[in-house]
Amino acid sequence: MSSQPKIDDALREAIISRPDVILDDKDLMHALIAANERAMGGNIVDLRGLAMERLEARLDRLEDTHRSVIAAAYENLAGTNQIHRAILRMLDPTEFEAFLKDLGGEVADILRVDAVKLVLESTQNDKDPAVQRLGDVLNVAEPGFIDDYLTDGRGGNVRQVTLRQVQDADPEIYGTDATWIRSEACLKLDFGDGRLPGLLVMGAEDPHMFGPQQGTDLLAFFTGVFERAMRRWLG
- Give the right CATH number for 94-234 from 3.30.460.80, 3.40.50.360, 3.30.450.40, 3.40.50.300: 3.30.450.40
Say what the pLDDT of residue 46 is.
60
Say what the pLDDT of residue 1 is.
44
How sure is the predictor about 134, in pLDDT bands with cuts at 50, 70 and 90? low
Instruction: Tell me the CA distances in angstroms from 176 to 97, 115, 195, 201, one per residue in order.
Output: 22, 11, 29, 15
| Cα 91 to Cα 110: distance, rounded to the nearest angstrom | 14
How sure is the predictor about 31, in pLDDT bands with cuts at 50, 70 and 90? confident
Please count the other Cβ atoms lying within 10 Å of the Cβ belonging to residue 150: 19
Percentage of the chain surpassing pLDDT 70? Answer: 82
Say yes or no to pLDDT of 2 above 70.
no
How sure is the predictor about 38, in pLDDT bands with cuts at 50, 70 and 90? low
Once rounded to an integer, what is the mean pLDDT over residues 122-138? 64
Minimum mean pLDDT range among 80-84, 126-130, 227-231: 126-130
